[in-house]
């Protein structure tokens, strides 16, 4: 056993982490829990408002259909994180020096099982931004290397890729996906045409934030493999929103937030790295575990609040006990019904075929709401979003995509059709108001223009 970590975590060394993660299931003994961890085995799938009241903390009177932005925590998971925090302070030495690492190992093992990968290939991270930075900033990029991404890549990730390219002389290749998207095949053939072998890294969002079509990842990854291009998947919206089987997908790097659709407390995510690439993937923060193996290096990032990681057990219990399939079926069905309802009420279209969406979708807003003959701007969309919030207490984002405004719907288990009906009616009311004052001054304020990519 390697004992090169200076820190002695009681009887548990940073280097023990690797050993414990690698143990076969039959030989592994989980640590004892100092606090209760709820199960949901006797819960039926409760949905809509009653689910919201029981399992979420959202305010009663807000029509909250923007789960995609910053998630929304499961009440029981939040309680668990708070209980861990209280427990830590009763005897901080016992917790940080003796108990924390075995617990982090356990939650990593469980999460790895949940997303179907080897636990030694997965590390917990505070968010996707940090996880992607760890991968990208660790690449030894050389002048002329190419990084490939689509125009729908998350704004903050684009900035990171621009930064690493500018500072190393690498080249960023941004490929344009045009909207409305017509089919999955359109995306596949676009990647086929534009991705060349020799690219140093290709970055794809599993579900892009501004345009939440589920990308045909299996096919995209196989194109990358054929061309020998390493692929990093940004699955910020994936965990909880779709079944994740990393073994079947087989990406080189995969990151996901747990604090979005999986409803963990904020500050919980993971990074998966293919075995052969682990040695060259180092954490941004170097601390006690450095030199003790991939998992040990990432596990301890200095003293901070680890409770969001530990609370993940509650979310895994919830998804396992209620049923991954049942939860996702409810969300997808609600999304489809909401899209049908809104497109027929507004006489508009979706930004892509319904089968490409999961629990988020883009529905075109009626043109009467803005200038019908000119391309819409980000600020027009932002103003409509603000009006929906201030006038009707509806929290939903408006996305400006290639000159057209779309509502991005989010559908979680606590949502119900009545909320989308309300949105539909309010938008029609805004259209009627707009028509009334069409010859007069703008009903919508002139809000400062902002970069489209800034929205969550
Ligand atoms: C596709 C995508 N990638 C990355 C992020 C960043 O996530 P976080 O802020 O949790 O790091 C988001 C956040 O919305 C996202 O939608």
Residues 2-37: pLDDT tens digits?
A: 344 444 444 556 568 999 999 999 999 999 999 999
Element housing 178 (H / E): none
What are the φ and ψ backbone dihedral angles of 420, each rounded to 5 degrees?
-75, -30
Contact (CB, 8 A) for 267 and 308 = yes
Name the 3-class secondary structure at 207: coil
239 lines ligand 1 (CB under 6 A): no
Taking residues 307-318, what's their average pLDDT?
A: 98
Which residue spans within 187-242 are E strands per DSSP? 201-205, 231-234
pLDDT in tens, 388-426: 999 999 999 999 999 999 999 999 999 999 999 999 999
Hey, which of 151, 207, 209, 399 would you mutate to test ligand 1's pocket, going by the most ligand atoms within 8 Å of its Cβ?
209
pLDDT of residue 443: 45
Check pLDDT > 50 for residue 204: yes
Q: What is the pLDDT of residue 278?
A: 98
Query: Which of the listed residues 70, 129, 134, 362 should we mutate to test ligand 1's pocket, taking the one with most ligand atoms within 8 A of CB?
Result: 129
pLDDT interval class at 224 (50, 70, 90): very high
The domain ranges of the chain are 103-319, 324-438
Which pLDDT does position 13 carry in this prediction? 63
Regarding the beta carbon of 257 and ligand 1, being less than 6 Å apart is answered yes
Work out the angle at residue 302's Cα, subtended by the Cα atoms of residues 299 and 306, and round it to the nearest 5 degrees: 60
Mean of all residue pLDDT scores within the chain? 93
Q: Which pair of tokens denotes residue 452?
A: 């489209």
pTM above threshold 0.85: yes
pLDDT band at 456, cuts 50/70/90?
very low
Q: Is the pLDDT assigned to residue 349 strictly greater than 80?
A: yes
Mean pLDDT of 247-263: 98
Distance 211 CA to ligand 1 centre (A): 13
Q: Is the CB of 237 under 6 A from ligand 1?
A: yes
Contact partners, residue 180, CB within 8 Å, separation at least 6 = 349, 350, 351, 352
Checking if the pLDDT of 268 tops 80, the result is: yes
Among residues 41, 74, 19, 34, the alpha carbon closest in space to that of 412 is found at 74
CATH annotation of 324-438? 3.90.1150.10
User: What is the model's pLDDT at position 370?
Assistant: 86
Q: What is the mean pLDDT of residues 66-82?
A: 98
Is pLDDT above 80 for 446?
no
Specify the pLDDT at position 448: 33
Q: CA 363, CA 343: separation in Å to the nearest integer?
A: 7
128 lines ligand 1 (CB under 6 A): yes
pLDDT value of residue 14 = 59
Measured in angstroms, how far is the CA atom of residue 17 from the centroid of ligand 1?
28
d(CA 453, ligand 1 centre) in Å: 11
Q: Where does 103-319 sit in CATH, by number? A: 3.40.640.10
Specify the range with the lowest mean pLDDT, choosing from 118-127, 181-190, 233-242, 372-381. 372-381
Contacts by 283-288 with C-beta closer than 8 Å and gap 24+?
283/134, 284/130, 284/133, 284/134, 284/137, 288/5, 288/6, 288/7, 288/14
């Amino acid at each position: 056993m390697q004992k090169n970590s200076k820190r002695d975590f009681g009887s548990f060394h940073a280097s023990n982490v690797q050993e414990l993660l690698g143990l076969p299931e039959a030989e592994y003994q989980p640590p004892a829990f100092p606090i209760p961890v709820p199960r949901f085995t006797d819960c039926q799938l409760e949905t809509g408002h009653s689910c919201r009241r029981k399992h979420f903390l959202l305010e009663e009177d807000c029509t909250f259909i923007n789960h995609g932005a910053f998630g929304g925590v499961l009440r029981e998971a939040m309680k668990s994180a708070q209980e861990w925090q209280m427990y830590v302070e009763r005897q901080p030495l016992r917790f940080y020096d003796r108990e924390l690492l075995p617990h982090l190992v356990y939650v990593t093992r469980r999460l790895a099982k949940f997303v179907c990968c080897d636990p030694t290939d997965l590390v917990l991270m505070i968010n996707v931004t940090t996880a992607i930075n760890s991968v990208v900033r660790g690449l030894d990029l050389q002048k002329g290397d190419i990084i490939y991404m689509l125009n729908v890549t998350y704004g903050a990730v684009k900035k990171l890729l621009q930064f690493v390219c500018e500072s190393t002389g690498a080249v960023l290749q941004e490929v344009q996906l045009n909207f409305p998207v017509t089919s999955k095949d359109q995306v596949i053939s676009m990647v086929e045409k534009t991705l060349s072998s020799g690219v140093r890294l290709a970055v794809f969002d599993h579900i892009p934030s501004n345009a939440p079509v589920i990308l045909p990842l299996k096919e995209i990854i196989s194109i990358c493999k054929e061309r020998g291009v390493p692929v990093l998947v940004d699955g910020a919206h994936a965990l909880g929103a779709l079944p994740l089987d990393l073994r079947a997908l087989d990406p080189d790097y995969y990151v996901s937030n747990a604090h979005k659709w999986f409803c963990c407390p904020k500050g919980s995510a993971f990074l998966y790295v293919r075995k052969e690439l682990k040695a060259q993937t180092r954490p941004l923060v170097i601390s006690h575990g450095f030199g003790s193996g991939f998992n040990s290096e990432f596990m301890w990032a200095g003293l901070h609040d680890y409770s969001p990681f530990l609370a993940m057990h509650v979310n895994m219990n919830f998804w396992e006990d209620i049923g991954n399939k049942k939860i996702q079926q409810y969300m997808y069905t609600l999304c489809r019904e909401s899209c049908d309802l809104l497109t027929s009420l507004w006489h508009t279209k979706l930004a892509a075929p319904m089968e490409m969406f999961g629990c988020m979708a883009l529905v075109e807003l009626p043109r009467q709401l803005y200038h019908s003959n000119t391309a819409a701007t980000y600020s027009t969309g932002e103003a409509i979003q603000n009006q929906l919030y201030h006038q009707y207490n509806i929290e939903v984002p408006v996305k400006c995509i290639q000159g057209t405004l779309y509502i991005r719907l989010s559908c979680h288990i606590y949502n119900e059709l009545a909320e989308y009906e309300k949105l539909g009616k309010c938008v029609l009311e805004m259209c009627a108001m707009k028509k009334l004052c069409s010859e007069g001054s703008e009903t919508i304020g002139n809000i400062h223009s902002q970069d489209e990519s800034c929205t969550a």
